[in-house]
């Protein structure tokens, strides 16, 4: 067993001792409702459509799809390199990417009272972090295809607004733990959120209603994924091309 595999196994084993809910949310809608307060804490743009915030937080929180619709197009591959978890066009999500995010989340939970929080655990947490890194690439690619650019200054400005909204820098760790975001991933999360917002705004300017902007953006991201190609390590499940998310393997039927 190499060091990356050992680190991942240790993260999953340690996760079993963490405070968590008894079961994963059953749908995107359910987790969006459960995470509503967290979403507000991590977004200072009050005019932003709820579907935009819900979509990103749902990905980070680890939405697990246990059934695949009939006729769904899936892309699964066996990787020659054990260090790669997913391909997004020419970009890759590595074992290190996922493991570092998982390990930091676990470490940061130790300093926060997680009672009552909706936090992902075990394989669900690993899947959530894979989806987070994967969707970050896809949002960046979709934004680039639409000539949307987010600067470091944009990210810094939103981060400052988030810190102001939660009250102080000392309160940020608890908000991040509640949202299942590793502190080292905050800049990437904010950049992805800003891409999401700008893409939704572009769609609305083209005539899409705010109520339908979330669905339209999912379609745009799915189309970009189909163009660049997405391949996922089968241990995580399969790529759901309609929702642009990795779906966990269906549970084995009880004997």
Q: What is the pLDDT of residues 189-240, one digit of tens each?
A: 999 999 999 999 999 999 999 999 988 998 999 999 999 999 998 888 888 8
Residue 2 is classified by DSSP as -
pLDDT confidence of residue 243: 79
Flag the least confident range among 75-84, 143-152, 191-200, 234-243. Answer: 75-84
> Does the pLDDT of residue 87 top 70, yes or no?
yes
Tens of pLDDT, residues 8-60: 444 444 444 444 333 333 322 332 223 332 333 354 343 343 444 454 544 43
pTM of the model: 0.71
Q: What is the DSSP string of 109-151?
A: HTTS--TT-----HHHHHHHHHHHHHHHHHHHHHHHHTT----
> Does the pLDDT of residue 252 top 90, yes or no?
no
pLDDT confidence of residue 214: 87
Instruction: Give the rounded distance of the alpha carbon of 7 from its chain centre.
Output: 21
Rounded to whole angstroms, the Cα distance separating 213 from 109 reads 34
149, exposed or middle or buried, with CB in 10 Å at 0-12, 13-18, 19+?
A: exposed
What average pLDDT is seen over the chain? Answer: 74
pLDDT confidence of residue 254: 62
Contacting residues for 41 by C-beta, under 8 A, at least 6 apart: 162, 165, 166, 175, 178, 179
User: Quick one: average pLDDT of 180-196?
Assistant: 94
Q: Which of 152, 168, 178 is nearest to 57 (CA)?
A: 178
Q: Which of 63, 56, 49, 37 is nearest to 174 (CA)?
A: 37
First to last CA, the chain: 32
User: Quick one: average pLDDT of 70-90?
Assistant: 55
> Does the pLDDT of residue 3 top 90, yes or no?
no
- Which one is predicted more confidently, 254 or 93? 93
At residue 84, the 3 state secondary structure works out as strand
- Four-residue CA torsion sign, 178, 180, 159, 34: negative
Count of residues making up the chain: 255
Using only C-alpha atoms, what is the Rg of the chain? 17
Rounded to whole angstroms, the Cα distance separating 187 from 232 reads 24
At residue 175, the 3 state secondary structure works out as helix
């Amino acid at each position: 067993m190499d060091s990356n595999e050992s680190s991942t196994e240790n993260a999953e084993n340690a996760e079993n001792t963490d405070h968590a809910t008894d079961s994963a949310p059953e749908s995107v809608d359910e987790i969006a409702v459960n995470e509503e307060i967290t979403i507000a804490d991590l977004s200072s743009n009050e005019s932003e459509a709820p579907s935009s915030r819900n979509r990103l937080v749902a990905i980070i929180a680890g939405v697990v799809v246990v059934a695949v619709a009939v006729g769904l197009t899936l892309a699964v591959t066996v990787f020659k390199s054990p260090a790669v978890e997913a391909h997004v066009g020419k970009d890759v999500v590595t074992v290190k990417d996922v493991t570092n995010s998982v390990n930091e989340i676990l470490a940061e939970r130790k300093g926060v009272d997680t009672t009552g929080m909706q936090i992902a655990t075990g394989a669900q947490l690993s899947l959530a972090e894979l989806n987070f890194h994967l969707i970050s690439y896809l949002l960046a690619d979709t934004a680039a295809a639409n000539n949307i650019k987010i600067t470091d200054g944009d990210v810094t400005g939103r981060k400052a607004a988030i810190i102001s909204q939660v009250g102080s820098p000392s309160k940020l760790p608890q908000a991040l733990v509640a949202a299942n975001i590793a502190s080292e991933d905050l800049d990437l999360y904010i950049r992805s959120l800003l891409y999401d917002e700008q893409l939704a705004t572009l769609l609305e300017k083209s005539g899409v209603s705010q109520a339908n902007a979330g669905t339209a953006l999912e379609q745009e991201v799915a189309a970009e994924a189909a163009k660049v190609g997405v391949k996922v390590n089968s241990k995580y499940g399969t790529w759901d091309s309609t929702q642009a998310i990795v779906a966990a393997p269906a549970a084995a039927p009880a004997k």
